[in-house]
Amino acid sequence: MLKGDYGTLLDLLGPRREAVLALLEHLENETDWLWTPASTNHHCACEGGLLSHTRTVAHFMLDLKARVRPDLDDESCVIVALFHDAGKVGPKDNPECRRDAEGRWVLDPDRVALSHAVRSIHLVSRFIPITEEEIQAITYHDGQYVAANRVVKNRETPLLLLLHFADMWASHVLELEAGGPGPDGTFHPRGALG
């Protein structure tokens, strides 16, 4: 049984539902997925921040998709949004992020140097059969902010562009302006929940 609250996101899964559930079970039972922060000192730098962030990205991405690209597959959007940052997790007994003596979040300096996007693809592909478009979206979701991502410049798929914008909007606007998650565990603009 899953411990995390994924709201209605899991209802949008289709043929890969069991694979997604298997990955979520692994993340919840074998890693620090449920309590790790999304970042060490920026957006959602708090306990449980990664799960809140990925849920916020997924909900915002689906809302955006409905407005600009309703033809994109809901299941594909849920998969890339929920797991774009999965590479930030570590084993429960050796988490990627931990608190130092002053209580600040710090990254494990002994971990093999890989981008979190590459780690995400490695982890996701062990459980879920993913398409090339989904691989591109997860791998390059940080967009042109990362020099290595310039390989896809002007060749981004709509899925990548939606994920990138949803991730940036969530981390640079919603999560900073909201002052904390709303009752559903996701971040919304101030006053949006009425």
User: How confident is the model at residue 121, as a pLDDT?
Assistant: 95
Q: Write the Ramachandran bin of 180: left for phi over 0, alpha for psi from -120 to 50, otherwise beta.
A: left
Q: How confident is the model at residue 90 (pLDDT cuts 50, 70, 90)?
A: confident
For the cut 80, the answer to whether the pLDDT of residue 93 exceeds it is no
Q: What is the Cβ-side half-sphere exposure of residue 55, based on CA atoms within 13 angstroms?
A: 24
Range 169-182 average pLDDT: 74
User: How confident is the model at residue 193, as a pLDDT?
Assistant: 33
Span of 11-20, 65-74, 99-108, 116-125 with lowest mean pLDDT = 99-108
DSSP H helical ranges for the chain:
17-30, 49-68, 74-83, 116-125, 132-139, 158-169, 175-177
Write the single-letter amino acid at 146.
V
Return phi, psi of residue 91, to 5°: -60, 150
Helix (H, G, I), strand (E, B) or coil at 38: coil
Give per-residue pLDDT as tens, 33-74.
Answer: 898 887 666 666 677 888 989 999 999 999 999 999 999 999
User: How confident is the model at residue 113, as a pLDDT?
Assistant: 64
User: How confident is the model at residue 188, as a pLDDT?
Assistant: 55
Taking a C-beta distance cutoff of 8 angstroms, is the pair 144, 150 a contact?
Answer: yes
User: Nearest CA to 121 among 107, 145, 137?
Assistant: 137
Span of 2-6, 70-74, 83-87, 132-136 with lowest mean pLDDT = 2-6
Give per-residue pLDDT as tens, 125-170.
Answer: 999 999 999 999 999 988 777 778 788 888 899 999 999 999 999 8
- Measured at the CA of 87, the angle between CA 82 and CA 89, to 5 degrees, comes to 95
Give per-residue pLDDT as tens, 109-128.
Answer: 777 666 788 899 999 999 99
Taking a C-beta distance cutoff of 8 angstroms, is the pair 10, 17 a contact?
Answer: yes
